[in-house]
Amino acid sequence: MIDLRSDTVTKPSQAMREAMFAAPVGDDVYGDDATANSLEESVAHLLGKEAGLFTPSGSLANQLAIRMLVKPGEELLSETHSHIVRAELGAAAVFSGITTRTWLADRGILKASDVLEIARPDSGPYLVSTTAIAVENTHNFGGGSIQPLNEIAELRRESQALGIAMHLDGARLWNAHVATGIALKDYAQHFDTVSVCLSKGLGAPVGSVMVGSKELVATARQWRKRYGAGMRQIGMLAAAGHFALDNNIARLSEDHRRAQLIATAAHSISPTFVDPTTVDTNIVALDLRAIKATASEVNASLKAEGILASALGPKFLRLVTHLDVNDGDIEATCVALKKVLSNALVA
């Protein structure tokens, strides 16, 4: 099976496992895990922030960050199809009493004006006050789309003047950085908090890091413990993160090139499926609205050909490239995809 359901399916390589095996460890709740400490410092440094906090998942990194920025009964703005709103099981409401209001954006791509139009800081005694905005880069359900830096900068300028904080869900910020050449710091400078994932395209088995100011991260560390995610000898996991940062960032361009091949194959069957110029990174979002078959039907046909994809909506099929697939796998994927989509087109 060629597994393109997500870049989370990657497994630690032999070399990564050796780095994990050899890692110096200590009790991280006591602050004694040297490998975890250095990973947090490295990621904070890469993103130009004072401090970092290792978390077992990206969802927890996001949730700790927005908890620091938004008080119970206040409001976080986020895009309609963002991970924070759609894929974290309502955690912001359940754990933090945060209400969310959303703006809708084509492919999830940020326009500062869309957000500013609905932002309502200092709403007084009757209405909910906006205190933070979350931006997702790259945008997962938007098809791995990259957020324009000028729109981020404008949103930061305008929202800061209104006293509104900003969080970056940068689970795949690495992909945006590699695709554009824009430094991670240059993205991160516009945000109070940033979360990044080590367990997607970077190939670590577990882990995300949340970064921000020293004070904010110290408070988030208490909340991480309160949520039950104070971990002990996590140096073995942090070592995988170090290995990922050292070895697996630049190679993301391979994933992007391979996503282009898949998009081009689908486009050659019908341009309605996907426009390859809109595939910015490693996610190919296929639009099946022009055919009768549903995403789960196409998914089942692909599975019969040995290809695993994700049906994320009735007419939305997602294929994600990652470090555990090679050029041969992509060639086989294109052959299978052409066969399945041609059949679906005439059905």
Ligand X SMILES: *Cc1c(COP(=O)(O)O)cnc(C)c1O
Q: Residue numbers of the site for ligand X (CB under 6 A)?
A: 57-59, 62, 83, 136, 140, 169, 171, 197, 208
Rounded alpha-carbon distances, angstroms, from residue 252 to 72, 202, 248? 38, 8, 7
Tokens 């408070």, residue located: 219
Spatial CA neighbour of 57 closest among 192, 174, 197: 197
Q: Given the complex with ligand X, which of 278 and 310 has the nearer CB atom?
A: 310
Residue 312 has which token pair? Answer: 């994320």
Q: Given the complex with ligand X, which of 207 and 269 has the nearer CB atom?
A: 207
Rounded distance, CA 343 to CA 347, Å?
6
Q: Given the complex with ligand X, which of 282 and 333 has the nearer CB atom?
A: 282
| Shortest spacing between CB 139 and ligand X, in angstroms | 7
Rounded distance, CA 20 to CA 13, Å?
11
| Shortest spacing between CB 64 and ligand X, in angstroms | 12
DSSP state at residue 233: S
Q: Specify the pairing of strand 316-320 against strand 310-313.
A: antiparallel
| Shortest spacing between CB 121 and ligand X, in angstroms | 25
Residue 235 has which token pair? Answer: 């140096």
Q: Given the complex with ligand X, which of 248 and 301 has the nearer CB atom?
A: 248
70: helix, strand or coil = coil
Position closest to ligand X via CB:
58
| Shortest spacing between CB 156 and ligand X, in angstroms | 19
Rounded distance, CA 238 to CA 298, Å?
39
Q: Given the complex with ligand X, which of 62 and 159 has the nearer CB atom?
A: 62
| Shortest spacing between CB 210 and ligand X, in angstroms | 11
Q: Given the complex with ligand X, which of 239 and 320 has the nearer CB atom?
A: 320
Rounded distance, CA 219 to CA 212, Å?
11
Residue 191 has which token pair? Answer: 């945000």
| Shortest spacing between CB 237 and ligand X, in angstroms | 13
